[in-house]
Amino acid sequence: AQRVTQPEKLLSVFKGAPVELKCNYSYSGSPELFWYVQYSRQRLQLLLRHISRESIKGFTADLNKGETSFHLKKPFAQEEDSAMYYCALSEGIYNFNKFYFGSGTKLNVKP
């Protein structure tokens, strides 16, 4: 069953424009949601997680249990934000902290 859905394969915005990368999940328990980023030719790295409610590189994401969403937002996109972004869901310690990833969204920030 598809646990994490990222409906957009590619998102192109101009520098300085707001950006929102969508993520919806399907899970009956209490999920732990994450955003991972993969810059060109680099490994996956954690961007942020919902439990810490932090802002990293200007990005924020709010877990909306009613809409089962965890959209990633940034008010003013920068060219260096261009990368692949993956939303991930963890089933927590009761299932070995397994992660399930969405299909990813490529963000292209144009100058």
Can you tell me which of 72, 102, 107, 109 binds other proteins, judged by CB under 8 A? 102
Q: How many binding residues for other proteins (CB under 8 A)?
A: 22
Cβ neighbors of 68 (< 8 A, separation 6 or more) are: 24, 25, 26, 27
- Of residues 60 through 99, those in contact with other proteins by CB under 8 A are 86, 90, 93, 96-99
Instruction: Name the CA radius of gyration of the chain, rounded.
Output: 14
Question: In angstroms, rounded to a whole number, what is the distance separating the alpha carbons of residues 85 and 107?
Answer: 7
Query: Least distance (Å) from other proteins to the CB of residue 98?
Result: 6
27 binds other proteins (CB under 8 A): no
Cβ neighbors of 20 (< 8 A, separation 6 or more) are: 71, 72, 73
**Sites of contact with other proteins (CB under 8 A):** 32, 34, 36, 42-46, 49, 51, 86, 90, 93, 96-104
